[in-house]
Structure 1
Amino acid sequence: MDPAEESPSMLWGLDPIFSSFARLYVRDILQMTESTQVPGIYFYNSHPVYKVDVLGTVVYKREREDFFCYGVDDGTGVINCLCWKNDLLKEEEDPAKFGGKHSDAAHGGFNPVAELKKLRQAQQNCCRLEIGELLRVRGPVKTSRQQREIIASTYYKVNDPVMAVQIAWMMEVPGLYRKCYDKPLQLQHNAMSDSAISSVSKATNIIKDFLMQKVVSRFRPYDVQDLLQPLVSCQPETTSVDQEPVAGPSACQQLRQLLKESLEILEDEGIIYRKVKSQDEVYNVTAQDKDLIIAVKGIIREDSKREKYAEKGCHILHILSAVRQRYSLNVSKAALELVLKSLECNSDIVSTTDNHYTVF
């Protein structure tokens, strides 16, 4: 693969193949190209791969003190598999350890030492393979001395006398190739979604900065609409075949949609709210709405004198209900929390618990 065609490493996690053991043919594992960004990562048809799952026949073996080297042939090629020994395999069997001191088994009793010996022997049989036996191995792919190999994290001998496992494998892997491996990684849709999210985020920040710098107490949508104009593309969309313009939303429609989504986000955050919902869209800026601040402070001062709220103060839900009854039905909890935070910072009120407020 051309280095310019590699997807950025930050996007590799979007590909489900990257976090799984890819069941690739040995031929494809040997032909994969290594990433120029991160050594040890390989690409098959634009899919990042670093760990694989292989089933094949042992065609050669070498044993060292700490590991086995098995050559695995799956019918498309042969790859070397480095299989580390566990501690039980490294230990040398002590004849005296399994001596004849315990003779309970001969009399029909349970001999734990003999059973342990059987379990150990069974484990050794699964890890020690001979040429011609079937091996399944999983692990990351490495390149050592210019040769591709698998560093096994899991490996075991497969008992398959009627070839049921091999047949199931040969039927499953081609399906994985058709559905996953042979389909190029598509990140365009995600990139477009990220672009749309980024535009709304930028628009929201632009409006926030405008409200803060100009100390605006109320505004209408058309007062801030022109601020978002640079974020809207005026170029018509084209197809990849004949490059002819495709019908789509106009720049004016895009601008209105962007403004609508940004104002909705600001409302959800409580930064703005509409005191009265009418055809004349007027938004109040919560932090600059002195009438709302006075109303909230007055409610807490008056209701804190009541016996019910004298000890802990007024609960935030009680304050919200009172504000909606006495001031505006459209004040959200998020907007009220901003007002309460501002009053507490100015030492006008104090919180007795996380949700209760009273005056000094």
Structure 2
Amino acid sequence: MITGDVEVTEGMMAQSDRQSAEDPLPPVLWGLDPVHGVFAKLYIQDILQLKNSQHVPGIFFYGTHPISRVDILGTVVQRLEKEKFYAFGVDDGTGVISCVYWKKQMPAQVTKTASPPGGLNLRQQLSRLASLEEDQRRVELGDVVRVRGRVREFREQREVSSISLVKVSDPVFDAQISRMLELPHLYRSFYDKTFRKDGCEADEHGALILSLQSKIKQFLAQNQVKNFYQRELETIDSLSCIARRDREGQCGQDSALNPAETLTQETISSPCVSRQIHATFQQAVSALQEEGVIFQKVAGPNELYLVTDEEKQLHNVTLDIIRDDCTQPKYIERGCPFRHILNCVRQCYGAGVTEATLQRLLDRLECGSQIVSTMDRYYTAC
């Protein structure tokens, strides 16, 4: 009885191991993930914890994203030079990873063409340039370097086989601060989001939604629309023409938006559109909400939508909150945190303001030099 239980338990564990051994994303879909085709800027700690692919050597996974190449910035804390390569450890504050950079063969060893009498000695010049290049690649302890290369494992140790190595002159830590501010945005926007197959398939319906979303955004900007109801958009010919393609399969090329088109009572009284067209508009409008382009003070299917860039009251309320609160002792040094600003805006303006809406507004205020970000998602008035 005990033996049987052990065998069953071992069988279940083996089955569980086989299931957990499967890659988070099938290899046939790797090319659909944009993270797979770039040098991913990751913290070194996360690079060291990447999971190996069970199907293809040299492929690793951060969540559901297949990664083969990385871009790191850090300080050299270890150094070793061999005849054919440099090996050095890079520390970005989260961990240390070993990087290997292979030396290039000197042109003097491969170039055999003799120079013409009295002419330029090309072999000598190429050798000199190669020596200068090698000097630039010879890193020392304490150097700040940017390394791009492929992730690999050598003797059960994770390392980066460098393709590009650049020493960064960074006396005031400008490059490192920029990287520190950039990485949280990349993690939120790309790395920490689960890869969705249906979000990458270029089917007709998905392309139609993206096209309608873009056209609505263009229409709102061209006509400086401040607020609207969804049913008003559905009566605009240049927009409903796009939505009808999903049902009719025909509409020709996108008609150019007429700047003279406005949301008037005549358009509101136009005949109702089909349920399918209504659903298509609903998906496009929802996507614009997630992007922060529009929002609702009060959530509901028939409530008024407000355009973020044109809602001056929201701009003024947000700016006043930052100006007042950044003078408080606990915010005077670093500025007001994003969550604090969001809570205050929801109390003073409306509970329907989303994080995406406020982030778009803060970016717009910063571009207008009305506020400045002191660190990641901390803001103070100029």
- Class of the TM-score when normalised by the shorter of the 2 chains: 0.3 to 0.5
The TM-score normalised by the length of structure 1 is 0.45
Query: Based on CA coordinates, which of the two structures has the bigger radius of gyration?
Result: 1
TM (normalized to structure 2)? 0.43
